[in-house]
Amino acid sequence: MLYLDDLHIGQRFKSGTHTIDAVEIKAFARQFDPQPFHLDDGAAKDTIFSGLAASGWHTAAITMRLLVDSGLPLAGGIVGAGGEIAWPKPTRPGDTLQVESEVMDITPSRSRPDRGTVTVRSVTRNQKNEVVQELKARLIVPRRV
């Protein structure tokens, strides 16, 4: 597991994969984002998505799972203070997602010598290498003390 002191700008990590199906897409949507384009294949055809698509928050949640399981081995876990997120393309049933992360910035805390903030850019791609999510997250990372 990596501490702030072990990280350098440009360092890269690659996660395992997760293949999503329509059952998962609809189950997440029923709970958190019950809109026709996430719930029903037929109704989704006549929407801006032109077919069933995962909620962006579902793509974000799957990305987090991939990062926690295999994508970003940080000491203290993956603790986000916030960030920027974009969904250039929707996640579709049958898509296989994988996350590549890169350390963009490392800032030791001035007030708390035991930690710092690391900006990590995590790009989630499908099996066609299309970007379905780009996340620039500010993470709290402990220092070796």
Interacting residue ranges for a copy of itself, rule: CB under 8 A: 28, 31-37, 47-49, 55-57, 60-62, 64-65, 68-69, 76-87, 134, 140, 142
C-beta atoms surrounding 120 within 10 Å: 26
Q: Cβ 10 to a copy of itself, closest distance in Å?
A: 24
Read off the DSSP letter of residue 144: P
Q: Cβ 8 to a copy of itself, closest distance in Å?
A: 23
Beta bridge partners of 140: 117
Kindly state the tokens that stand for 81. Answer: 């203070």
Q: Cβ 118 to a copy of itself, closest distance in Å?
A: 14
Cβ nearer to a copy of itself, comparing 31 with 107: 31
Cβ nearer to a copy of itself, comparing 81 with 145: 81
Give burial (CB, 10 Å; 0-12/13-18/19+) of 23: exposed
Site of tokens 């969904």: 87
